[in-house]
Amino acid sequence: MKAKRKNLVTVCLFAGVLLAGVIVLQGCKDSGSGTDDEKTGEQKWVCPMHPDIIADRPTKCSRCGMDLVPLEAEKEPGAMTMPMPPKEIAAAAEQTMCPIMGMAIDKNIFVEYKGKKVYFCCAGCEDKFKANPEQYIAKLPQFKN
């Protein structure tokens, strides 16, 4: 009787392992969903304002702090384009950081310089900018052309 029970347990274990293997293998089949980039892991992300800033994952631009947007592959192999919606084009030229401290700006604290508004995080930064504006212009998106 013990031998029959031992054989029954062995058969049940074998059947369970076989069933688990079939379930795992079914889950590994390609479902056909997702883009080619997702399947191969080649998705790249780029800054709308600085196209030379490219990353392998969504993150922020190391220069301006903007969110990176996905690069889209063209139909031709090796060709890539950068989507640039009008909203992001406008955001690329909008100042969000204080040129003095690098902090978020307060839209109520600004000066007009060469016909354009320059925003600051505090009044102290405004005074520092007025003392030597040319030192900070390179940091401002509204002066980049």
**Along the 145 residues of the chain, how does pLDDT read in single tens digits?**
788 888 877 877 777 777 776 676 666 554 444 444 444 557 888 887 778 888 888 898 888 888 888 877 544 455 555 555 555 555 556 888 899 998 999 999 999 999 889 999 998 999 999 999 999 988 888 887 6
- CA–CA separation, 137 vs 74, rounded Å? 37
Task: State the amino acid at position 9 in one-letter form.
Answer: V
Q: What is the predicted pLDDT for the residue at 75?
A: 46
For 123, the enclosing helix (H) or strand (E) is helix 123-131
For residues 41 and 72, state if they share a domain: yes
Instruction: Name the DSSP letter for residue 144.
Output: -
Sequence-ordered list of residues with C-beta below 8 angstroms from that of 66, at least 6 positions apart, any chain: 47, 48, 49, 60, 91, 92
- CA–CA separation, 26 vs 29, rounded Å? 6
Residue 120 lies in a domain: yes
Domain that holds residue 113: 106-143
Domain count, the chain: 2
Residue 137 lies in a domain: yes
The angle formed by the CA atoms of residues 39, 40 and 45, to the nearest 5 degrees, is 100
Residue 121 lies in a domain: yes
Q: Is the pTM of this model over 0.75?
A: no
Q: What is the predicted pLDDT for the residue at 66?
A: 83
